[in-house]
Amino acid sequence: MTQSTLKLQSIADIRRFLLANERPLFFISPTNFNLLGMDEWVKNFSSITYRDCWDKRCPHHFTPSLMHDSPFENIHNLQEGPLDVVDYNNYLLRHPEVIDYIKQFGSQSVALFLMFDEETEALCERHQIEIWFPSAQLRNKLDNKIETVRLGNLAGVPSVPNCLSNVDSYPHLLDLARIHNLGQDLVIQTAFGDSGHTTFFIANETDWKNYADKIRSSGVVKIMKRINCAPATQEACITKVGTIVAPLQTEVIGFPELTPDRGGWSGNELFSGAFTPAICHQAQEYTLKFAEQLRKVGYRGYFDLDYLIDRQSGQLYLSEINPRISGVTPLTSHSAFATAQIPLFLFHLLEFADVEFELDVHGFNTAWLTDSLAKDCWGSLIIKHTKDSIEQVIKAPQSGIWSMDDAGNLDYSRFDHRCHSLNSKTEALVQRVAGVGNYRYCGGDIVRIIVRDRVMTDDFQLSDRAKLWIDSILAEYQTEVVYPSSSIS
């Protein structure tokens, strides 16, 4: 990113600086969902993806040809469930076509990832590509759900009543719950992993037996009192001038129409009135406190905090941290306030570009909290394969703008990859993930939908219209079963 000898003194300065950027920036990921639209804000911003969801029609986007030894087309691998994002990224960085594509932009290339590890760092170093995130080692440490509780305690951000311990047996679990006054209806989370796969609900010994081997082998786990909660999430960015905090969003969690996992994330909502003003202020205060604790351990840039709201007491609890961009980022980036100012992620770029800029952070955060959602409404649905079968896709919907009437009848309106091209609640931006020839496997993404509408009711159930979107877009698929459910162990 071209350096400036002048400090950027306004949002207008920042916007002009980014639109004049000469340094090549590459978002490397299985798909470009998380940073949709960033190329409209930043010159020389491109996406490099394993899967071309847009059929070569999306600008500033590159997908290499499939190498014959790709592990992601192996049926035996797919039987194990969703594949690791890091493995996709490392595959891409080993692909000669990807390296050739990056080199054609010249020197000083920058890589941005959803996930990466030490191997990713080594591959980038080999090709002289700079990574604009804190180290994989630090991110991995912070991604530990046990560490989240400890950091939250240090910051004064409470978690759901819990204890941290290894568990040997069901009687041992009950003893721990009694000592810490957690009751007998419990939730256990392991230190690492997608919460949908590593969150276990245990109300009796039968539940324990279903998950005992996974829990025993995980070492120290988080044992929580089960509460009747509403899930929420909030993104923020730690910069040299302070921490900038985006609005609180609802979480779409665990619906069987969308995910095979009881605690699996499946989308979000961003709209006015989602939470009381008191909850919104409390969340922002907690996020700022947690950010200062992150700053003390050397973290900077973009992160996401998940919260749980006790529906009976109204108490807000810390759930977990995602030290990265996340599935929430597209809605954060397209909120009305972000569009009028700049998306939150661009502050992350400024932080790592080492550019001096000025910002009234308190005023910015207050404005985002109070004025930004007056007429704003966005929703997302992440549709996964919910069966334990493996099916090859024979027919799939095109990515782009689809329209739907009140009866659920779909029509492909036009190609577009931009969320802001949606004109009304009757339209959706559809990103097809599983295309013709691909496989649908348990937990794997099939399609992602973004709408200018809510997707849940006030009592956190899927709305009727959301169900119509799910059913109608899935009806556009035809598949051939390769392994039926009964044949997969």
Domain boundary among 176, 205, 225: 225
487 pLDDT exceeds 90?
Answer: no
Task: Report the chain's mean pLDDT, rounded to a whole number.
Answer: 93
Domain boundary among 198, 225, 252: 225
Q: Is residue 232 part of a domain?
A: yes
Distance of alpha carbon 205 from the chain centroid: 33
DSSP lists the bridge partners of residue 221 as 165
CB 115 within 8 A of CB 86: yes
Domain boundary among 176, 207, 225: 225
* Residues ≥6 apart with Cβ < 8 Å to 382: 252, 258, 259, 265, 266, 267, 327, 445, 448
pLDDT digits (tens, 9 = 90+) for 79-136: 777 778 999 999 999 999 999 999 999 999 999 999 999 999 999 999 999 999 999 9
* Whether residue 15 sits in one domain with residue 115: yes
What is the rounded distance in angstroms from the CA atom of residue 4 to the CA atom of residue 350? 12
* Whether residue 175 sits in one domain with residue 259: no
CA 97 to each of CA 34, 65, 91, 100, 286: distance values in angstroms, whole numbers, following the listed order: 23, 8, 11, 5, 44
* Whether residue 178 sits in one domain with residue 44: no
pLDDT digits (tens, 9 = 90+) for 16-35: 999 999 999 999 999 999 99
Q: How confident is the model at residue 74 (pLDDT cuts 50, 70, 90)?
A: confident
Reference 122, options 131, 109, 112, 133; nearest CA is 131
Q: Is residue 259 part of a domain?
A: yes
Q: Which H or E run includes 90?
A: helix 85-93
CA 381 to each of CA 21, 179, 415: distance values in angstroms, whole numbers, following the listed order: 33, 40, 19
Tokens of 86: 């890091």
Q: Is residue 267 part of a domain?
A: yes
* Whether residue 423 sits in one domain with residue 324: no
Distance of alpha carbon 80 from the chain centroid: 21
| pLDDT at res. 196 | 60
Tokens of 463: 């709305």
Domain residues for 267? 228-370
CA 247 to each of CA 143, 155, 270, 372: distance values in angstroms, whole numbers, following the listed order: 22, 20, 8, 8
pLDDT digits (tens, 9 = 90+) for 191-240: 876 656 788 999 999 999 999 999 999 899 999 999 999 999 999 999 99
Q: Is residue 255 part of a domain?
A: yes
CB 260 within 8 A of CB 388: yes
Q: Is residue 212 part of a domain?
A: yes
CB 233 within 8 A of CB 312: no
pLDDT digits (tens, 9 = 90+) for 355-391: 999 999 999 999 888 765 567 899 999 999 999 999 9
Burial state string for 336-353 with b = 16 or more CB within 10 A and e = fewer than 16:
bbbbebbbbbbbbbbbbb
453 burial via Cβ count (<10 Å: 0-12, 13-18, 19+): buried
* Whether residue 219 sits in one domain with residue 110: no
CATH number at residue 100: 3.40.50
* Whether residue 187 sits in one domain with residue 65: no
* Whether residue 390 sits in one domain with residue 352: no
Q: Is residue 96 part of a domain?
A: yes
First to last CA, the chain: 50
Share of the chain above pLDDT 70, in %: 96
Mean per-residue pLDDT for 474-479?
97
CB 244 within 8 A of CB 219: no
Mean per-residue pLDDT for 157-180?
94
| pLDDT at res. 489 | 43
Q: Is residue 193 part of a domain?
A: yes
| pLDDT at res. 191 | 82
* Whether residue 364 sits in one domain with residue 232: yes
Q: Is residue 148 part of a domain?
A: no
| pLDDT at res. 73 | 79
Q: How confident is the model at residue 55 (pLDDT cuts 50, 70, 90)?
A: very high
* Whether residue 363 sits in one domain with residue 235: yes
Reference 202, options 180, 186, 182; nearest CA is 186
Distance of alpha carbon 348 from the chain centroid: 16
* Whether residue 245 sits in one domain with residue 350: yes
* Whether residue 288 sits in one domain with residue 209: no
Handedness of CA 79, 82, 84, 88 (dihedral sign): positive
* Whether residue 353 sits in one domain with residue 241: yes
DSSP string, 303-365: EEEEEEEETTT--EEEEEEE-S--TTHHHHHHSHHHHHS--THHHHHHHHHT--B---HHHHH
CATH number at residue 335: 3.30.470.20
The total of structural domains in the chain comes to 4
155 pLDDT exceeds 90?
Answer: yes
